[in-house]
Each structure stands twice: as C-alpha cells, then as structure tokens.
Amino acid sequence: MVAAEKNHLEWMGLALDEARRALATEDVPIGAVVIGPDGAVLGSGRNQREELGDPTAHAEVVAIRQAADRLRALSKLDGGTGDGWRLADCTLVVTLEPCAMCAGAVVLARIPRVVFGAWDEKAGAAGSVFDILRERRLNHWVEVYGGVREEECGAILRDFFAVHRSQL
C-alpha cells in the first residue's frame, strides 16, 4: 500500500458527494470518480443497483463507463483514433474498496491507480479478501492507495445500514 497524496483527499470528497446522492434512491451509498491525467473529472458514479434494477450498476462501473464515453467523444473531436476504453493515466477514486467485479473492470480498463476510502472485509478485492488489482498473473497491475478518508467513508455506510437494520 502506498501513502495517499493531497489530491487523493480532495478527490475523495467528490466521491463522497456521489455516495450521498445514492441515498436518494435507497442505494448503498458508494460513490466513485475517474480522474483524468490533467486532474479533471472524466466520469462519476454512484451505486444505482436499486434505482436501475441492474446488478452491475456499482459506482465504479458507472464512473468507468462514463469516463470511457467521454474519452471516446474527446478523441473524435480531436480527430484521434482513441477507443475510449483504455483509461491509461487515469485514477479511480471510490469510497469503498472495490469488489471482485469492479476490480476486474479496473484491470480491463487499464486504470493504473485506485484510491479508496473504507476497507471491505467481506468482499474487498484490493487487499482485504482478494487482491485482484495486484494479481501478478493478470496482464495489468494497479497502484493502490487504501484508507483515504476512511472514517468518513465508513461512517456513511455504517449509518445507512444502521437505519436499514432498524426498519426490519
């Protein structure tokens, strides 16, 4: 694990904003942003599984899809031949350690850096349960920065689940 940088703290604030937006649809409050090489937000997402009825609508996947669409559109405007799906030199920032599906999407999108907030001891795939992002048998490896604004990221999840459990 590598120490977080100042930008990571700021970018996590953007991911936390996305996580809070998920509360409006009663989705688990996880947010993500994809930051481009210039520091601009290329994509943002929040969990939308409940809202869309889509089991793959995790915050990371939503943000990655949006970033790929934006890169493809920008490439066309510049007359380039970029495919959009290679998110080289980008950073994914997410409030919770990615699960296996999302970690796989990161590897396939060739994202070189992932910054996350809270650890997921039940399903994390960036060092907790699995370590897909740094699996040497895969064709792409990711630099991982975990525990960024961890308390804040964990608190929004704990509060969400406390409310839902009290309603049972």
* DSSP single-letter state for residue 122: T
Q: How far is the CA of 46 from the CAs of 5, 43, 96, in angstroms?
A: 23, 11, 11
- Is 99 annotated in a binding site? The answer is yes
Residues 6+ apart with CB under 8 A from 47: 19, 22, 27, 28, 29, 30, 31, 57, 58, 59
Rounded to whole angstroms, the Cα distance separating 10 from 85 reads 25
- Is 153 annotated in a binding site? The answer is no
Of 94, 47, 86, nearest in space to 67 by CA? 86
- Is 164 annotated in a binding site? The answer is no
Question: Among all residues, which ones are annotated catalytic?
Answer: 60
Which residues are annotated as part of the binding site for Zn(2+)?
58, 99, 102
Q: Which residues are annotated as a binding site?
A: 58, 99, 102
